Amino acid sequence: MTDRVLTRRALNRALLERQLLLERQPLSIPDAMDQVGGLQTQYAPSGYVGLWTRLAGFRRDDLTAALEDHSVIQATLLRTTIHMASRRELWRYAAGIRQARRTWSLRVQGGAIDEQAMVDAAARLRDALRAGPRTVKELGELATGFVGNLGLWVDLVRVPPSGTWERRRADRLALAEDWVGPCDATESDGLQHLVRAYLRGFGPAPWRDIASWAGLRVTDARLAGEGLELIHYRDEDGRDLVDLPDAPIPDPRTPAPVRFLPHWDATLLVHARRTGILPERYRARVFTTRNPFSVGTYLVDGRVVGAWSLREGRIVLDAYQPLATADQQAVEREREALEAFHADRA
């Protein structure tokens, strides 16, 4: 235990640093995926925008190529949502969440799912995919409900050309064991990886935030962390925060540049509330049942100050608050750069 107290601003800067949002980095795409804990890609372009805002010299074709050469994998993972992760870490994510997702699904369905029936259906789907990837349409009834139910009993990945900038619907499936290689992680490996990956990308954090992000029970997250060397801090309210001993915590005075984030960027979800990156008065404007698609957002000084959308080839802003002239100019420069990226002029 340490007596060091981390302010909200210190936690904000730690998040930005670990999410590659303080400076665009010259990393490979798989390395970037590992660092940030994967990228949520319910909307396929989110992965592209998420890397553009984090990596130096990133171009749209780079991610499509990484998906095609299997160095980046797209699958239903954390919180039963579509994510991109590196090939080398895919099985650790899948092994860590597999049982928790099955248990959760059986519980919330209230007996509507027969587990043996799902096992049998998964075996039929596995047989149908032995010859190679097929679309959901081609699989027909074999793939019915694969996202929410059947996909919990057979490890699937979503493969190009679907789920890319060029063909956005991620509806072409393959067996993970064929596309990635044999599973090389145990559940214990995976659970420990989830704790490490969260702290690497989002820490320092309380256990409940780690569990929320991973879709685990808090007790399971704590047990997984027992095998790791962790250090402790406290936040301004006295809550215990855990962290990896070599993870960066920048000076709270570190300037934060303007950054545009894609739809459903994980830095804005509830688990990261402690960092103040999304002011609570704006949360309902970003995440609302009336707009399940969410919105893209932009940051000034490490906080969301507005939303953006693409309309007829233009990046259009929806400002949530007035900005100083210098900040408005910085936002406009990034807006123009994002517009060029969408037009493939970057």
Q: Tell me how long the chain is.
A: 346
Cα–Cα dist 33/36, whole Å: 6
Query: Quick check: 344 and 60 in contact, CB under 8 A?
Result: yes
Give the separation between CA 187 and CA 92, rounded to whole angstroms: 8
Q: Beta strand pairing status for 134-135 and 82-86? A: unpaired
Q: Tell me, what's the pLDDT at 108?
A: 67
CA distances from 109 to 80, 94, 211, 305 (A): 15, 21, 21, 39
pLDDT value for 152:
81
* Unique residue bearing structure tokens 């609570």: 280
Q: 334: closest CA among 24, 10, 19, 38?
A: 24
List the chain domain ranges. Answer: 37-179, 187-243
Mapped to the 3 state alphabet, what secondary structure does the chain carry?
CCCCEECHHHHHHHHHHHCCCCCCECCCHHHHHHHHCCEECCCCHHHHHHHHCCECCCCHHHHHHHHHCCCEEEEECHHHCEEEEEHHHHHHHHHHHHHHHHHHHHHHCCCCCCHHHHHHHHHHHHHHCCCCCEEHHHHHHHHCCCCCCHHHCCCEEECCCCCCCCCCCCCEEEEHHHHCCCCCCCHHHHHHHHHHHHHHHHCCECHHHHHHHHCCCHHHHHHHHCCCCCEEEEECCCCEEEECCCCCCCCCCCCCCCEEECCCCHHHCHHHHHHCCCCHHHHHHHCECCECCCCEEEEECCEEEEEEEEECCEEEEEECCCCCHHHHHHHHHHHHHHHHHHCCCC
Per-residue pLDDT of the chain in tens (346 residues, 90 and over written 9): 567 999 999 999 999 999 999 999 999 999 999 999 999 999 999 999 999 999 999 999 999 999 999 999 999 999 888 999 999 999 999 999 998 888 877 776 666 667 788 888 889 999 999 999 999 999 988 876 654 566 788 999 999 999 999 999 999 999 999 999 999 999 999 999 999 999 999 999 999 999 999 999 999 999 999 989 999 999 999 999 999 999 999 999 999 999 999 999 999 999 999 999 999 999 999 998 777 678 999 999 999 999 999 999 999 999 999 999 999 999 999 999 999 999 987 5
Residue 64's pLDDT is what?
A: 98
How far apart (Å, rounded) are the C-alpha atoms in residues 129 and 135? 10
* pTM, rounded to two decimals: 0.94
Fold exhibited by the domain 187-243: Arc Repressor Mutant, subunit A (1.10.10)
